Amino acid sequence: MSTWKYKAYRSIWSALDLLFPPQCGGCGKQGVRWCDDCRRNVQVLDGIVCDICGLPQDKPGVCGVCLANRPHFRSLRAWAVFEEPVQSALHKLKYRRDISMGDAIAAEMLPYVENLRMDWKFDLIVPVPLGKQRMRERGYNQVAMIAKPLAMGLGLQYLPNGLTRRKETRSQVGLSREERRQNVHEAFQAWNGANGKNVLIMDDVSTTGSTLSAGAEALYAAGAREVYALTVARALSHHDLRRV
């Protein structure tokens, strides 16, 4: 159930929309941040998936990749497939400085995350942090713009600095699974706020889950009881989307 803080937060954005008419994050339609057509076109990732990494598969259970090399998080789930209209909305938030999309995306995700919490029982939300250089360039962490309203909507603690970067990493785009894992190895450090807690670590997009696994490892080292992982979208470029 939405908290009064979340309702107030949404009211502020609604007032700003009256002053500065928005465009739909998916299709660019004038007057709304998320139109009904784009809402219907979101491909929610709710089919049969691996119990651990959340990738689509033919039957329930754990996939072969996770059996061979289990990630550090307990489970990873994504709200939607990384394609239109979600892809455009995330690009507006990440590259075009449209921070209003953080609230719009969080509002669309909230029922999905409320359903997850029935099983996961997490206590707080921690965003994957940006590196110092990317933070200077962008001025904000796009993941935090989604994670914070989600935490308010769920009535949970939000820990924006629960993870920090111990080292700068290069972009994961174009790297193989093993290169991704090596790139983020020991990249994060967690702080005491996670001690004894069930933590939800959040990122915008996942492909192999390597970044979230590295963050989960750091959170466990800081005393977290359980670490679950969530992303807005999942990149499925090597999968048959019709099977999702």
pTM: 0.90
pLDDT at 88: 97
pLDDT-based confidence at 242, cuts 50/70/90? Answer: very low
229, 209 in Cβ contact below 8 A?
A: yes
Phi first, then psi: what are they for 55, rounded to 5°?
Answer: -80, 145
23-63 per-position pLDDT tens digit: 999 999 999 999 999 999 999 998 899 999 999 999 999 99
Tokens of 26: 């998916």
142, 93 in Cβ contact below 8 A?
A: yes
How large is the average pLDDT for residues 132-138?
88
Count of all residues that appear for the chain in the document = 244
pLDDT at 188: 87
Instruction: Tell me how many degrees the CA angle 219-224-229 measures, rounded to the nearest 5.
Output: 60
How large is the average pLDDT for residues 80-109?
96
pLDDT at 233: 97
pLDDT at 1: 55
DSSP character for 130?
A: P
Which residues constitute the domain of residue 156? 4-243
How large is the average pLDDT for residues 62-75?
95
pLDDT-based confidence at 173, cuts 50/70/90? Answer: low
109, 147 in Cβ contact below 8 A?
A: no
d(CA 32, CA 189): 39
In the structure, how many helices (H) and strands (E) does the chain have? 9, 7
State the average pLDDT for the chain: 90
Give 181 or 144, the one with higher predicted confidence.
144
Give 244 or 196, the one with higher predicted confidence.
196
pLDDT-based confidence at 183, cuts 50/70/90? Answer: low
**Which own/partner pairs from 170-173 qualify as long-range (CB within 8 Å, at least 24 positions apart)?**
172/207, 172/210, 172/211
CATH number at residue 41: 3.40.50.2020
pLDDT-based confidence at 82, cuts 50/70/90? Answer: very high
User: Which percentage of the chain shows pLDDT scores above 70?
Assistant: 88
What is the count of structural domains for the chain? 1
